[in-house]
Structure 1
């Protein structure tokens, strides 16, 4: 039986969407990550500025998401995060998100699979887990509730 336990929540501020236009795979977009708090039962710290979210908006309207960024714990450990996921929903809901409206996250699907890499012994347990995040897109931020898959 698959179970999961909460490890932290991220609320990360984002720059505006930079669209590279229609490529053979779909509309290619890049969203730079500005940073924000990380709080939870197993980890506290902040997302450092400098990461990015690379997206392809597919022909079916789904956003194929690949993000890489760094978390720095309150104790100074640095953790590389690699995240891949999907965000999709009814066209009218996705249009509201595109306009920057706050939309109830139960109206759309936003999930990512996360892996971590660190050299810090205090958090090296993260090198050996997979995590699943349930996301919520805000106008200029993203909120991710992150769970370790047990």
Structure 2
């Protein structure tokens, strides 16, 4: 197994709004970040449909488990569902800066997700059987994911 590391096959730039926090669940505090739009570019392009969310578990040390679920629409009107599961970790001071919404150099923290896709569009059916690994960067107002295909 290898990862096509020469270039991402997709770049996802998700716009987010203010989070809400349902509270502590024993394994950590829960936070939900609504996904309100954005863009997808690369082998498939489209606009992220508002209404998705990134559900996170924040551990006592500040590290996160991430579960995001959203969809995008291509210019042809095809819908692609995105299911992303991953982690974001780093030194406490860096995680605190990210939590405060600051722009932080992505080389200072670890942000990776596995990504699956679902679509009923015949021309995009190959996405249903593709696994991606994304390298993420938290930006003020959003997230950028460079998605690489697992070969």
Partner SS, residue 28 of structure 1: strand
Partner SS, residue 9 of structure 2: strand
Aligned mates of 1:96, 1:144 — CA distance in 2: 19
- Taking structure 1 as the reference length, the TM-score comes to 0.95
**1:61 shift after superposition:** 2.1
Partner SS, residue 124 of structure 1: helix
- Aligned position for 1:135: 136
Within the candidate set 13, 25, 30, 2:15 is matched to 13
**Superposed counterparts of 1:26-65, under 5 Å:** 26-40=28-42, 42-65=43-66
- Is contact 2:80–2:119 with CA below 8 Å preserved after alignment? yes
- Aligned position for 1:80: 81
Partner SS, residue 51 of structure 1: strand
Please identify runs of 4+ aligned residues in structure 1 that moved more than 6 A. none
- Is contact 2:63–2:95 with CA below 8 Å preserved after alignment? no
Q: How many residues align?
A: 149
Deviations 1:47-76 (A, max 9, x none): 110000000001332110001000111211
Partner SS, residue 119 of structure 1: coil
- Aligned position for 1:3: 3
- Aligned position for 1:68: 69
Aligned mates of 1:34, 1:77 — CA distance in 2: 19
Partner SS, residue 94 of structure 1: helix
Question: Tell me, which stretches of 5 or more residues in structure 1 are unaligned?
Answer: none
